């Protein structure tokens, strides 16, 4: 069973116990792969945890970039959060409709913005629903709340920094994509991208960090997964995936293990796979 920690992961029971807390904010951060056929906004409109706001990962991003859902500029994050009534002094709980898929990305984004009172709901909406807990289809009543933001630049890496780490081996680069994509055995879902992985990166598919029901594995099991992948947990880490969403699940797992020196490569394979002048490893 998970240990409730309002800075990483909380159980459905913890959320149920705290749902009436006036300084609690719940966010539905559902986002699915374009080919999944699911519409996260429509699903939210139909059913969500009482009081939850919908956090649109595609909208709350840097629209000046050509890459998908890059981290937003601080001003944009602040103004969107203020409009959603999320601000200073709030404990935030994020969930998604897949169990754990995109919620960790928003957990990471809050931390990037210097807001550390944020946790992922363990097991997400499926577990909440399966336990027969209350849901509603009403939009929340939102009041503006001021938010002060301090961007934590050490938590995000760009291609230059990842390219350097790939050569210097001073970071563990951990890739959350499925093994077939990591090995370069299948085409990338996004057209025009090369197949393979960043040289010297390790593969920890995000699914291996989760139990069957979408909850996160115990610390001992997480440790075993990283060990099996050859990840040196003593080293600082950079996480990566297809577009920077599921990579954050690795960051969450590392944080659960008490590691605090981990960053996310925001461009991820959408960027690395695009440039012919960057080396690609296969197998």
Residues that bind other proteins in the complex, under the rule CB under 8 A: 64-67, 70, 73, 158-160, 163, 266-267, 271, 275, 277-278
Nearer to other proteins among residue 124 and residue 267 (C-beta): 267
DSSP collapsed to 3 states, 18-69: HCCCCCEEEEECCCCCHHHCCCHHHHHHHCECCCCEECCCCCCCCCCCCCCC
Smaller CB separation from other proteins, 51 or 199: 199
Q: Is 231 a catalytic residue?
A: no
Q: Which is nearer to other proteins, 26 or 156 (CB)?
A: 156
Contacts of 175 by beta carbon, 8 Å cutoff, 6+ apart: 182, 197, 198, 201, 202, 203, 204, 239, 240, 241, 247, 269
Q: Which is nearer to other proteins, 20 or 160 (CB)?
A: 160
Between 242 and 267, whose beta carbon lies closer to other proteins?
267
Q: Cβ contacts of residue 102 below 8 Å, gap of 6+?
A: 29, 30, 31, 32, 57, 96, 245, 246
Min dist. Cβ of residue 67 to other proteins (A): 5
Q: How far is the CB of 247 from other proteins (least distance, A)?
A: 15
What is d(CA 176, CA 174) in angstroms, rounded to the nearest whole number? 7
State the nearest-atom distance from the C-beta of 49 to other proteins, in Å: 33
**Minimal distance in Å, beta carbon 275 to other proteins?**
6
What strand order describes the sheet that includes 24-28?
Answer: 9-10, 118-121, 91-95, 24-28, 53-54
Distance from C-alpha of 172 to C-alpha of 183, rounded to nearest angstrom: 17
Query: In whole angstroms, what is the distance from residue 195 CA to residue 181 CA?
Result: 7
Give the shortest CB-71-to-other proteins separation in angstroms. 9
* 3 state SS for 226-241: HHHCCCCCCCCEEEEC
State the Cα angle at 266 between 103 and 45, rounded to 5°: 30
Q: Which of 93, 241, 247, 253 is catalytic?
A: 241
Least separation, in Å, of the C-beta of 65 and other proteins?
A: 6
Residues in the chain: 283
Q: What share of the chain is helix, strand, coil (3-state, %, to 5)?
A: 30, 15, 55
Closer CB to other proteins, 279 or 282, in the complex: 279
Residues catalogued as catalytic: 241
């Amino acid at each position: 069973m998970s240990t409730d920690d309002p800075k990483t992961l909380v159980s459905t029971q913890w959320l149920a116990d705290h749902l009436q807390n006036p300084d609690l904010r719940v966010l539905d951060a559902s986002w699915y792969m374009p080919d999944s056929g699911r519409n996260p906004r429509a699903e939210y409109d139909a059913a969500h945890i009482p009081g939850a706001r919908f956090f649109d990962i595609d909208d709350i991003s840097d629209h000046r970039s050509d890459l998908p859902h890059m981290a937003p500029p601080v001003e944009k994050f602040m103004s969107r959060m203020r409009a959603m009534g999320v601000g200073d002094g709030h404990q935030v709980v994020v969930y998604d409709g897949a169990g754990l898929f995109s919620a960790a990305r928003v957990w990471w984004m809050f931390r990037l913005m210097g807001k550390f009172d944020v946790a992922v709901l363990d097991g997400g909406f499926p577990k909440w629903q399966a336990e027969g807990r209350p849901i509603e289809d009403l939009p929340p009543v939102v009041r503006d709340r001021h938010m002060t933001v301090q961007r934590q630049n050490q938590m995000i890496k760009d291609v230059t920094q990842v390219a350097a780490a790939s050569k210097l081996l001073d970071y563990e680069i951990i890739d959350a994509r499925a093994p077939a994509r990591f090995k370069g055995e299948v085409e990338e879902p996004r057209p025009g991208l090369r197949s393979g992985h960043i040289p010297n990166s390790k593969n920890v598919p995000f699914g291996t960090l989760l139990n069957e029901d979408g909850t996160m594995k115990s610390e001992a099991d997480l440790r075993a997964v990283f060990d099996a992948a050859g990840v040196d947990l003593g080293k600082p880490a950079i996480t990566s995936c297809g577009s920077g969403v599921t990579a954050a699940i690795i960051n969450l797992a590392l944080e659960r293990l008490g590691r605090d020196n981990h960053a996310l490569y925001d461009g991820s394979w959408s960027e690395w796979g695009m440039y012919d002048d960057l080396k690609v490893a296969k197998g």
